[in-house]
Amino acid sequence: MLDDRKLTVLRAIVSDYVASQEPVGSKALVDRYQLGVSPATVRNDMAVLEDEGYITQPHTSAGRIPTDKGYRLFVDRLGELKPLSAAERRAIEAFMSGAVDMDDIVARTVRLLARLTHQVAIVQYPIVTATTVRHVDLIRLAGNVVMIIVINSNGRVDQHALDLSVDDEALAAMRTRLAAVMVTRSPQEAADALSGVLEQFDAEQRPAAAAVVEVLLQMLGSPPSTRVVVGGVPNLARFAREFETTVEPVLEALEEQVVLLKLLGEAAASDDVTVRIGQENKFEGLQSTSMVASAYGSHSDVWATLGIVGPTRMDYPSTMASVRAVARYVGRFLAQG
């Protein structure tokens, strides 16, 4: 167990290395930080930290840099995260406030995270467990082509074009009748209600209505999305020299949806911010990176995860605060929608 002074030295090493990108020496620590001890004492503390595996010397005559173990202890001892400033919170709200549907929310969230953290942002589409049908529409496009549209309470929009030989009056009546049995119900409830709706149509309208109901049942039965959207990949170029060999394994891992879903899934069990550092990542291509992630949602209705991936040398306090703030805001945004 490290005493408080050695923990202070470790925190100073991490902070200095993240800021300067250069190995840190004892004299530099004494000059830059008010440690209250001599360089000789700091050298002794650094020797203990190195023996314990918290820091390492990249090459002879150089200062020290943190190891994955050192970063982990630093993160674990952060205590409370500093909240974002009022200006930062207003910037998040302004950036997200114009979102019009779920695709737009996810796209804006990815861009926002990449911009705030200067890392690669990854956002899982929300998996909705309690949603209702908000709107149903049948719109004639041209001739007999009719667009069937279903909008859910989470903002998801499904649409399907169908060749339908009905006049405008019959189309309007069909729209009204279908909306009456679907809107405000869950997808499953709406599907159950549709099973008996054909009896409400006369014999002449029933074939067309049956074709529409068949499409609606397919749309209602679509599984929840498990896609992950990635943004800010060019940010990796700024840190290319920090990866052990090349950045290629990281780029390849970021292209694998299954890998990203598993990576984010590990964070979903936590109530706050999850941090995976270096070798803690199970996927070989990402073992030279760190991931900071947080679940977001609206009570029990929506549950998904967002986060960032970047080099282990990152500003953990700021990154963790940004990820948590964005996750909480997106959750509130979905709840209001």
Full pLDDT tens readout for the chain, 337 residues: 788 899 999 999 999 999 988 999 988 888 888 888 888 999 999 999 999 999 999 887 778 999 999 999 999 998 778 888 888 888 888 888 888 787 888 899 999 999 999 999 999 988 766 678 999 999 999 888 999 999 988 677 889 999 988 899 989 999 999 999 999 998 888 988 898 888 888 888 889 999 999 999 988 875 555 688 999 998 887 776 776 666 888 888 888 887 888 888 777 666 689 999 999 988 888 888 999 999 887 655 557 899 999 999 999 999 999 999 999 888 887 777 5
**Rounded Cα–Cα distance for residues 238 and 142 (Å):** 51
Residue with tokens 């467990």: 129
- CATH code, 4-76: 1.10.10.10
By the 10 Å C-beta count (0-12 exposed, 13-18 middle, 19+ buried), 119 is classed as buried
Residues forming CATH 3.30.450.40 domain(s) in the chain = 86-126+225-336
Closest CA to 314 of 337, 291, 330: 291
206/200 Cα distance (integer angstroms): 9
Give the ranges where 57-205 is alpha helix by DSSP (H).
68-76, 86-96, 102-117, 168-182, 187-194
Q: How far apart are alpha carbons 288 and 277 in whole angstroms?
A: 8
* SS3 state at 233: helix
| Alpha helices, H only, 97-236 | 102-117, 168-182, 187-194, 206-220
Output the pLDDT for position 302. Answer: 57
Strand segments, DSSP code E, in 211-281 are 228-231, 273-277
In words, the CATH class of domain 133-220 is alpha beta
CATH topology of domain 86-126+225-336: Beta-Lactamase (3.30.450)
d(CA 67, CA 54): 5
Helix (H, G, I), strand (E, B) or coil at 30: helix
Contact 10, 2 (CB under 8 A): yes
Give CA–CA dist 45/65, Å, rounded.
14
Question: Angle of helix 206-220 relative to helix 187-194, nearest 10 degrees?
Answer: 160
Q: What is the pLDDT of residue 293?
A: 94
Residues of the chain with CATH 3.30.390: 133-220
Q: How far apart are CA 80 and CA 83, in angstroms?
A: 9
Task: Return the pLDDT at 35.
Answer: 85
Beta bridge partners of 163: 145
C-alpha distances in angstroms, 101 versus 17, 97, 154? 42, 11, 8
Those residues whose C-beta lies under 8 Å from the C-beta of residue 252, and which sit 6 or more positions away, are: 285
Give the three-state DSSP class for 241: helix
Copy the structure tokens of residue 320.
């963790």
Which letter does DSSP use for residue 9 in this model?
A: H
- Structure-block tokens of residue 326: 């964005």
In this prediction, residue 300 carries a pLDDT of: 57
Q: 308: part of which helix (H) or strand (E)? A: strand 302-311
